[in-house]
Amino acid sequence: MLPGRRAHLLRGSAALSVMLALSVFLVTAARQSDFFARRVYVPVSRALSGLLGWVFSYGETAAAEMLLAGAVLAGAAFLAQACVRSARERSVWPLLLWCFNGVLTAACAVFLFIVLWGGNYLAPKLEARIPLATGPQAEEILLETARFHLEEVTLYGAGVFRDGSGAADGGGFAAMAPEAAGSMRALREKYPDLFGGAVITPPKRAYSYPVLAALGISGIYCPLTGEAIVNTVNTDPFLPSTMCHELAHRLGCAPEEDANFTAYLACMQSGEAIFRYSGALLAFTYCYNALASPEYRAELWGGLPPWALDDFRRNGAAWRRYENPAVSEAAGKVNDAYLKTMRQPDGIRSYGRVVDMLIALYLERESGQGAPPRGGV
């Protein structure tokens, strides 16, 4: 092996060792010290990610998509170059170095993820910070909560503008993205101690939406660029809650149930009917899916107004155009493993744990205690 290549391997191995050591230190220190997690790791992580979000807020195209596309193209170009050198030198070393560089690049991305975002999984969950009295409830209580959100769907959906075909029309992604940011700002102003202090900028549309749709992904938050990226395969009634979900990640709500609950609260803060309708659809859908009784489910589905049923069907049809069961199942398994690694033992089921919070909020409303107000990060 040439001396230059040997030196490159040594430098790369040293960099890998340093990143691994720092990652282990950060995670271990945060788990062992509540003070370090809450007062050092989490605030610094949120501040850095928020700063990146501000830097990359300009332009309509997500920097994360451009960087990923650039990385793929560069990787392919370097692979071709490595193949030519390998054939010329009759050696596998150029290909091995290409593999090593790929591992080093991936390790850098993981390290940055841990620094910029991983700490948020160690922060107290939203239900503890509000606080909400979550816990096991009888299915009848879940049914009552679902009925409440069915009433919201009916109330707010009736005020939504509809086009000539009867489809709910919020003006499309460009019109709703600034309102999503405004709703999140209004929510943070109402509960200033509840969320991180990152600058809130509008979400960006995903131009790779066919790929994301095939993977079953409706939105992504990229900590490396601080961007909330939304899949526009979603129809207008389902876009606002997805936008607010990804922006909730921007404010440090790492657990999926926290992001879902925040999205519901933010949508209800909006003055736009399409946002309140979207929040109601989000809450109703999760409560409906959590019901085990076929009779209860039939009652709720039968209680939906015809135009709401139409909105569900239109959104389902939009997603089926890109559906690939094998791909989405594989992506779901990867996401499940990722969530479990990040201290969410329920994995992808943690998305549905928002139901516990919705029930607790409903019971507080019924008891006259009102909506969430209190608790610091």
Q: Write the DSSP string, 41-93.
A: IHHHHHHHHHHHHHHTTSSSS-HHHHHHHHHHHHHHHHHHHHHHHHHHHT-SH
Helix (DSSP H) and strand (DSSP E) numbers for the chain: 16, 3
Strands (E), 90-184: none
What is the per-residue pLDDT across 292-317, written as a single tens digit (0 to 9) for each?
899 999 999 999 999 999 999 999 99
User: What length does the chain have?
Assistant: 377
Is the model's pLDDT at 339 over the cut of 90? Answer: no
pLDDT band at 352 (very low <50, low <70, confident <90, very high): low
Using the CB atoms, write b or e for 138-147: b if 16+ within 10 Å.
eeeebbbbbb
The candidate with the shortest Cα–Cα distance to 211, out of 232, 188, 182, 238, is 232
Give me the torsion for CA of 336, 142, 239, 200, rounded to 10°.
-80
Instruction: Give the three-state DSSP class for 141.
Output: helix
Give the tens place of pLDDT for each residue, 118-155: 778 777 777 777 767 676 778 889 999 999 999 999 99
In whole numbers, what is the pLDDT of the chain averaged over residues?
A: 85
pLDDT at 27: 81
Kindly indicate the confidence band of residue 327, based on its pLDDT and cuts at 50, 70 and 90: low
User: Is pLDDT above 60 for 245?
Assistant: yes
Locate the domains of the chain by residue range: 3-122, 128-367
pLDDT given for residue 374 in this prediction: 34
For residue 131, whether the previous peptide bond is cis, meaning omega lies within 30 degrees of 0, is yes
pLDDT at 286 over 80: yes
User: Residue holding tokens 């975002």?
Assistant: 117
At 36 the pLDDT is 85
Percent of the chain with pLDDT over 70: 88
- In the predicted model, what is the mean pLDDT of residues 321-349? 57
* pLDDT digits 0-9 by tens, 189-227: 888 777 766 788 899 999 999 988 888 899 999 988 989
pLDDT of residue 199: 80
Which pLDDT tens digit goes with each residue over 68-107?
999 999 999 999 999 999 999 888 888 999 999 999 999 9
> What is the mean predicted confidence (pLDDT) over 225-238?
94
Instruction: For residue range 157-190, list pLDDT tens digits in order.
Output: 999 999 989 999 999 999 999 999 999 999 888 8
| pLDDT value for 183 | 94
What is d(CA 102, CA 96) in angstroms, rounded to the nearest whole number? 10
Cα gap 208→110, rounded to integer Å: 22
pLDDT tens digits for 246-265? 999 888 888 888 899 999 99
Q: How far apart are CA 64 and CA 71, in angstroms?
A: 10
Q: Which of 105-114, 115-124, 307-316, 328-337 has the lowest mean pLDDT?
A: 328-337
Asked whether residue 372 carries a pLDDT value surpassing 60, the answer given is no
Could you give the CA distance from residue 250 to residue 227 in angstroms, rounded to a whole number? 8
Q: What is the pLDDT of residues 10-61, one digit of tens each?
A: 888 999 999 999 988 888 888 788 888 878 888 888 788 778 888 888 888 8
Q: Is the pLDDT of residue 350 over 50?
A: no
d(C-alpha 95, C-alpha 80), whole Å? 9
Query: How far is residue 40's CA from residue 115's CA, in Å, rounded to a whole number?
Result: 11
